[in-house]
Each structure stands twice: as structure tokens, then as C-alpha cells.
Structure 1
Amino acid sequence: MRNIGFHGGHTIYELGPVSDVVLFFDCLNIYAEREHPKQKWSLLTDRLYRRYLRLEDLDAASALMEQARQIFADLPSSAVEWEPRMVGNEEKTWLAPNQPTLADVFRKYFEHFASARSSAESFQKAFNIYQPVRVVISDLPGFARDKNKPLAEYDALEGMPFWLQ
């Protein structure tokens, strides 16, 4: 089973299996982007999902992530149709769909995003090198494969993100 996380600076913050992370971004698309179209959600639903966040994007992306958390806080966890085979099966999901709201279900995602941002900024400050915030395969072989990809490959990427390939 492949696990996914947020990476920033020098640290990977593990989120869980691919299906959990895909569900998080699906919820962003459905409940944030579609319901609040005036916001520039593409920073999260495209840049973060498919590529990486540039240093100058971090403030705006963090504000959007906080807004998404607030939107999710107003939604019961029952807003998602949980597949019975996933619920209660830690090999299939790390999420707890029995939580009251989607913000509670995805609490770790919001916390880990903030930690990845902080790590990226501290690395940049300490070494004058920006290691971007991005979604990565958190298992060592997958991370090692993608860690040294030039950012230009991410910029040119169309279709599925590397962490889904």
C-alpha cells in the first residue's frame, strides 16, 4: 500500500493511503471550489494537488486552506458517502468517518499542511534554498524517485500528478 504526505523543507508529513488523499482533494473540489467559485482554489486543487507551491504562493494557499477548514467545519462527515469496505479498516483508510464534521475527519491534513509550510520556510531561511510544499509519496522508494525530479518536470506536468502515477 502506497502512502502519501505533504513535503516541505526537510520533512514529510504522512497523511495516509492514496484513496484518503484523493478524497480530501475531491472534497476541496466539491465543497470549496464549486460552492465558492470566486476564490482562487486552483492554488490547492491544481498547484498543490498536481505540482508544488511556490514560495510566493504560501500565504495565499495557507489562507485558502484555513477557509477550506472552516467550510469543512460546517459540513457533517455524513456529507461523504463512505464505502463500507473502507470504514474501520486501517489498511484501507486512516480517516475516521465517525467524526462529527469533515474538518474533524481531515484535521491532520490541515495541521500537516501548516507544518509543511513552516518547514519549507525555515529551510529557506536557514539555507536560502526553497524546498517546496507539495504532495509526495511518503514511502521511501517512491519519495526517492520523485525527490530529485526537477521542478520544471512538475511545471510541465499535465494529467495525473506524480504521486498518483
Structure 2
Amino acid sequence: MYELGPVSDVVLFFDCMKSHVEQVHPECDWSLLTDRLYRRYIALEDLDPAIVLMERARQIFTFVRAASGVEWDSSLVGNREKSWLNPDQSTLADVFSEYFECFAKASASAKSFEHDFHIYKPVKTIISDLAGFLRDDHKSLDEYDALDGKPFWLR
């Protein structure tokens, strides 16, 4: 498990994925990231394609200036309790570098665990406070698959 910051930061990451990646590059199916990772989980057979997509998204973010690519909420900026992001970074790839690194680590860990123990622990976005984690960790993958609307981590 990797902690990325407050919910508003994670929402902003996925908003940037939609506006700067999915909408600008519709020739590619980004749903493994903008739906599966955002709302559900990445299945084992989708993990390698998701890794490729995430790296492509990171590359796209290197061309988006942080100052102009996001409407930064001044009430969040600089307040560590409200946001862990630094809008003074050069590009969105820099702002969200931890997100890309944590996704790579989580993916590698999931693949390793599956290889060593033949048990796949899906890569997913969850809330990290103890109560939320325990609630969501006990949900079946069928509950995630049937999910319509907000992801569990936003409820």
C-alpha cells in the first residue's frame, strides 16, 4: 500500500488523466486507468497493458506545464493537511511523479506476489485510513465489478 495524499490530490490526478491524456489522445483506450484503476481494480491480465498506459500517460504529462495545465485551488496549495502536491513543479509529470512511481512499485509487487505465491492481489485505488481500508479490503472483486458511480474510496 502506498499513500498518495489527501483525496482531493488523487481526484486531481485522475481529472488530469481525463483532461490531458484521455481527451487529448482519444486514439487510445485509457479505461484501464481512468475507469479500472480509478473505480475498480486492475485484473492480472490487464496489468502489463496498464503499466504501458501509465508510462505513456507519464510521458504525456511531461509536456503539460503545471502552472497552466491545472486550475490550482489556492486554499489547498501550501497546506500539507489539504494537499501534498507542489504546483511549483515544472510539469504535471513532476507534480505527480510519486503517483507514477507508486503505481510502478505496486504493479511490480502484485506481479511478484502472484509469481511467488500464485495469488494475485489486484492493484487498486483505496482509502488508506484504517477504517476505510478495512471496509474496502473486505469487499469482493464482484462488488468492485458491479460498481456504478463513485468509487468506494470517494464514498
Is 1:69 matched up with 2:62?
Answer: no
After superposition, where does 1:11-50 map in structure 2 within 5 Å?
A: 12-50=1-39
Larger strand share, 1 or 2: 1
Whole-Å separation in 2 of the counterparts to 1:132 and 1:14 = 16
Among 129, 135, 144, the alignment partner of 2:119 is 129
- Who is 1:84 aligned against? 74
| Residues in 1 aligned to 2:125 and 2:109: alpha-carbon distance in whole angstroms | 14
Question: Which residue does the alignment assign to 2:100?
Answer: 110
In 2, Cα distance between the equivalents of 1:84 and 1:156? Answer: 37
The amino acid of 1:15's aligned partner reads L
Q: Distance in 1 between matches of 2:122 and 2:60?
A: 26
Give 1:138 shift. 1.0
What residue identity is the alignment partner of 2:90? P
Say whether residues 1:149 and 2:139 are aligned partners.
yes
Q: TM-score, normalised by structure 1?
A: 0.92
Provide, for residues 106-136 of structure 1, a one-character-per-residue CA deviation record: whole Å limited to 9, x for no partner.
0000000000001111111121110100001
What CA deviation, in whole Å up to 9, does each residue of 1:13-55 have, x standing for no partner? 1100000000000000000000000111001000110000000
Who is 1:140 aligned against? 130
When normalised by structure 2's length, the TM-score is: 0.98
Higher relative contact order (CA 8 A, sep 6+): 1
Structure 1 residue ranges (4+ consecutive) displaced by more than 2 angstroms after TM superposition: none
Equivalent of 2:45, from 56, 65, 86?
56
Give the gaps of 5 or more residues in structure 1: 1-11
Aligned partners of 2:56, 2:116: CA distance in 1, in Å?
A: 30
Aligned mates of 1:121, 1:40 — CA distance in 2: 23
- Compute the displacement of 1:139 (Å): 1.3
| Counterpart Cα distance in 2 of 1:164 and 1:87 | 21
Report the identity percentage.
63
Structure 2 unmatched runs, 5+: none
Number of residue-to-residue matches in the alignment? 154
How far off is 1:148 after superposition? 1.4
1:56 alignment partner AA:
E
In 2, Cα distance between the equivalents of 1:162 and 1:77? Answer: 28
Instruction: Kindly report the root-mean-square deviation, in angstroms, between the aligned alpha carbons of the 2 structures.
Output: 0.6
